[in-house]
Structure 1
């Protein structure tokens, strides 16, 4: 069993469909036509397998964000475009996979959150520095703290009971981005933000 991108994608689909606990190592061995002994030679336990699958999915999201950053110059616009992929990386949609992951494999779940949050915070820090260079972002705020505010919101909103009555995920995601951007933009940045808001509303 090779840990290729296709294999890891398939494993993620299986976990998402059946659940982190419900899907057994026997099920996985049968799916890939290998013995359970061969599977355990690759992964000493399911926790190790889950960790690799989650890391793979996170890295895919980060790669797509990096592509957006290469193709666009405006840091505010990058926040709009790459926001969807960041949402996917941080989203804890209440399906069987995530619920069982939290209940039965809390260490794997928390380590995953910590790992992806470090990557996202680095991206946001670079975005902020670029925004300051262009005069879009303020220089009189505690950058690291504001970035942690944002990542905390991104991670917590989908598991918080306070948002259960709002079914439109995009509506919540857009609100979070505007909440963050309105707190950090300069007057020049505010004007750019309004232009982009109009642009992307027209595209919806």
Structure 2
């Protein structure tokens, strides 16, 4: 098998393009110019390959987010960096791959969502800890619960029975969620920084 990272990158793209159910192990072997037997030497079944692809993509996104955490000093400003990784991860909920995961591989989907939530919660909690040291975030709230609430709200766009996606676009929705969250956790000092991000 070629370089593992390159393999997983291409496999991710194939699953996103064709769907987790539609793409077969035969298709995958053909795309990589290997026999199906060789592919099965690396992955006992398609489910194992899907799980590794999901972990690979999630770890890649989290790594890029952590890089931004180091590059942007102010915790409030960090939350408003155009975080393409976060937006892609959240909006990928509606991809063919994810829709088919929900329908045909619900156990894998639920495990992935739990993993996603845990890793993104860690990133947000670190941001909260940093912001508290800088005096821009309040001390009187549960960091982990608030981080999970933020993730839950961001992910609810595609599955909520309340929001009509044909009337509210994702960008506007994301801004409202972000401002709700940031106004809830910032101190007066933090709100001063927040003023320049009043995106209305």
TM-score scaled by length of structure 1:
0.90
| SS of the residue 1:137 aligns to | coil
Q: Distance in 1 between matches of 2:55 and 2:12?
A: 11
Gaps of 5+ in 1: none
SS in 1 for 2:94: coil
Corresponding residue number in structure 2 for 1:4: 4
Judge which range, 111-120 or 155-164, deviates more: 155-164
Shift of 1:3: 5.7
TM-score (norm 2): 0.91
CA contact (8 A) 1:25 1:46 kept: yes
Alignment of 1:87-106 (within 5 A): 87-106=87-106
When the two structures are aligned, how many residues end up with a matched partner? 199
Label 1:50 to 1:83 Cα distance change in 2 as closer, same or farther (>3 A): same
RMSD over aligned Cα, in angstroms? 1.8
Q: Any unmatched runs of 5+ in structure 2?
A: none
Give the Cα separation in 2 of the matches to 1:96 and 1:128: 34
Please identify, of 182-191 and 6-15, the stretch whose mean Cα deviation from structure 2 is larger. 6-15
CA–CA separation in structure 2 for the residues paired with 1:43 and 1:80 = 40
Matched, 1:41 2:34: no
State the distance in 2 between where 1:4 and 1:160 align: 37
Offset, 1:38: 0.8
Q: Give the whole-Å Cα distance in 2 for the aligned partners of 1:93 and 1:111.
A: 14
Q: Which runs of 4+ in 1 moved over 4 A?
A: none
Does the C-alpha gap of structure 1 residues 55 and 148 become closer, same or farther in structure 2, counting only changes over 3 Å? same
Which residue does 2:187 correspond to in 1?
A: 186
The CA deviation at 1:99 is: 1.0
Deviation at 1:157, TM superposition (A): 2.1
3-state SS, counterpart of residue 22 of structure 1: coil
Deviations 1:135-173 (Å, cap 9, x if unpaired)? 111111222221111121123322334242246322222
User: Would the aligned equivalents of 1:65 and 1:82 in 2 still touch at CA under 8 Å?
Assistant: no
